[in-house]
A and B are shown apart, each in its own frame.
Chain A
């Protein structure tokens, strides 16, 4: 996945929030990145620093909360760990798993002044 443009999208959300919430500087940004979202946290950090230079979030600390993949297997009727999207159920081998966790990529909160 393409962290540079995702980082630009994060900055757009921050700038939106700055307009409505009236802040001048961002100290830290908390993201939730699921293991199944195909976002590479290290690449995200690198791109974020580059993208926020000269913006309201220049120098802000990026905290990334990582969540693992989980899904619901309809044939086993239980939650199972999911290593990669479209993998079969590790218990029964069926392919119809609905992802319940780990596909998010979300801006959770900001510390601002």
Chain B
């Protein structure tokens, strides 16, 4: 029960109905006949440690937010434009990064932090494309945290006025709540997913500043309504910028590269 106004606040819904917390047995109550009670043996009172209450009143994510603020300070000091790429698994984050590195062709110093539960595969794809990359394996963890990213940043030796691309663990839920210190979250939605993903995972579309609608080369073969997907996303976040793109065909890449370059210029210490 909610302490503020006394209403019921069940979280889990099964077919729209609240999860039942306990099964009450039907029928009448039965009583046992009273029994003779044996006196309990006397016990020495245990030594009781005095306890005291300590007020904390801190957000559960406060520590992560502290680390994120530290990362952000360092990024700003060095003029590094950092992007946190988030999406469901398979939306094309790594492919987009590889194509971005190839297209920039060394014009802009950049580095990549790769997050996955297991394997070094994505970092290897990035290195093969010619950019320094560090892989964070989160094991059972389903998102990157600011502390991990801060340590990865130190090991990458970021250049001043560079671009840092962070590929988060494929997951549209909790990466929304964990600030890494980035300038922007970029959410990638591919057209092979449902148009209503923004409504199903609103927190992520709310937290992002840019949405990339990827795999647009596949639109002729699908019944995906791109305008509807964008309308849903903007219902959640009216200020969301959108780029329609295909990492494989290259459509929309120019617009994406322009967006990145403009961000780097804003961030740059020379600006």
Asked whether A and B interact, the reply is: yes
Residues of A in contact with B (beta carbons under 8 Å apart): 1-2, 4-6, 9-10, 12-13, 16-17, 21, 23, 25, 27, 31, 35, 38, 40-42, 65-68, 70, 81, 85-86, 95, 101, 104-113
In this complex, how many residues of chain B approach chain A with their Cβ under 8 Å: the count is: 39
A111 touches B51 (CB 8 A): yes
- Bound-state CA distance A40–B174 (Å) is 13
Chain A: CB-nearest residue to B19: A42
B54 touches A106 (CB 8 A): no
A108 touches B174 (CB 8 A): no
Nearest CB in chain B: distance from A101 CB, A: 6
Contact of A40 among B12, B56, B63 (CB under 8 A): B12
Nearest CB in chain B: distance from A47 CB, A: 11
8 tightest A-B CB contacts, nearest first: A68-B2, A2-B174, A113-B49, A107-B56, A105-B60, A113-B51, A35-B9, A12-B63
Residues of B in contact with A (beta carbons under 8 Å apart): 1-5, 7, 9, 11-12, 49-64, 140-143, 145, 173-174, 177, 199, 202-203, 206, 235-236
Chain A: CB-nearest residue to B145: A5
A5 touches B203 (CB 8 A): no
Chain A: CB-nearest residue to B171: A2
A111 touches B236 (CB 8 A): no
Chain B: CB-nearest residue to A44: B60
A105 touches B51 (CB 8 A): no
- Bound-state CA distance A31–B56 (Å) is 10
Interfacial chain A residues near B61, Cβ < 8 Å: 6, 9, 105
Total CB contacts across the A-B interface at under 8 A: 106
Contact of B51 among A6, A12, A41, A112 (CB under 8 A): A112
Nearest CB in chain A: distance from B14 CB, A: 13
Contact of B173 among A2, A17, A65, A86 (CB under 8 A): A2
Contact of B11 among A35, A67, A81 (CB under 8 A): A35
Interfacial chain B residues near A38, Cβ < 8 Å: 173, 203
B54 touches A31 (CB 8 A): no
Chain A: CB-nearest residue to B7: A68
Interfacial chain B residues near A6, Cβ < 8 Å: 60-61
Interfacial chain B residues near A25, Cβ < 8 Å: 49
- Bound-state CA distance A19–B35 (Å) is 53
- Known contacts A66-B1, A67-B2, A109-B54; 14 additional CB pairs below 8 A are A2-B143, A2-B173, A5-B174, A9-B62, A9-B63, A13-B63, A17-B56, A86-B236, A106-B60, A107-B56, A108-B56, A109-B53, A109-B55, A111-B54
A40 touches B11 (CB 8 A): yes
Interfacial chain B residues near A104, Cβ < 8 Å: 59
Nearest CB in chain B: distance from A110 CB, A: 5
Interfacial chain A residues near B1, Cβ < 8 Å: 66
Interfacial chain A residues near B236, Cβ < 8 Å: 86
Chain A: CB-nearest residue to B175: A2
**Contacts A38-B203, A40-B11, A68-B4 given; does A9 touch B64 at CB 8 Å:** yes
